[in-house]
Amino acid sequence: MAATLAATPVTGEPTQPYNEVKLFNRWTFEEVQVNDISLSDYIGVQPAKHATYVPHTAGVRIVKHAMEIIHLLTDQNPIQVIVDAVINSGPREDATRIGSAGVVRRQAVDISPLRRVNQAIYLLTTGAREAAFRNIKTIAECLADELINAAKGSSNSYAIKKKDEIERVAKANR
C-alpha cells in the first residue's frame, strides 16, 4: 500500500484531463451569452463545479424533455434559448400603488434586474402551465413552445403578452 502511494507522483495537476461540464451531459455552457448587461450578474450560465442534488425530481425530466424539443426545433443550444427567453420576457417598468390618507394612485417605477429575472421565470412557467392545462400536449412541449416564442419575442408567448401588458399599464401611469 505504501509502495503504491510512493510510486505515484504528487504534482499540482490532475492525472485526468479536464472534462467539460455539460447540462444533462449534452449541452455545453461555452458559447452561451447574456446579451443584456443589466441581467448579466443575475443570470448564471457558468457550470457548477460540483454536483447539485435536489429532492425528488423537481421537474428535471420536464425541463430535460423541453430542452431536447428546443434543440430539435431550433438547432440551437437550448441554454441560449432559455437565456434569451428570460431576457425578452422580463418587464422593465411596472406600476406600484402609492398613497396616503386613503387616496391611492398608481405610479410607474423601474424594475430591478433580480425582479426582472424572477418575474420572467414566473411568466414563462405560468404560460406553459396554462397552455398544458386540459390539453393533449405535454407540459414539456408547452414549455418548449413558450421558451421558443419568448426567445423570438413573438406575441404568441404568454410571457411576452403579459410583459407588454405590464409595461403598457406602467406607461399609462407615468
Residues 133-171: tens digit of each pLDDT: 999 999 999 999 999 999 999 999 999 999 999 999 999
Residue 95 lies in a domain: no
- Rounded to an integer, the average pLDDT of 3-10 is 53
* Residue 74 belongs to domain with CATH number: 1.10.455.10
Residue 63 lies in a domain: yes
Residue 47 lies in a domain: yes
Residue 147 lies in a domain: yes
What's the pLDDT tens digit per position in 21-55?
A: 788 888 888 888 888 888 888 888 777 777 777 77
Cα 149 to Cα 25, 52, 82, 115, 127: the distances in Å are 25, 29, 11, 21, 11
Domain count, the chain: 1
Report percent pLDDT > 90 for the chain.
59
Residue 172 lies in a domain: no
* Gap between the Cα atoms of 76 and 68, Å rounded: 10
Q: Domain limits at 159?
A: 24-89+112-167
Give the three cell numbers for residue 153: 419575442
- Rounded to an integer, the average pLDDT of 126-139 is 94
Taken in order 46, 51, 57, 60, the sign of the CA dihedral is: positive
What's the pLDDT tens digit per position in 24-33?
A: 888 888 888 8
Taken in order 78, 82, 83, 88, the sign of the CA dihedral is: positive
Residue 1 lies in a domain: no
Burial class (CB in 10 A: 0-12, 13-18, 19+), 138: middle
Query: Which backbone phi and psi does 64 adopt, to 5 degrees?
Result: -65, -45
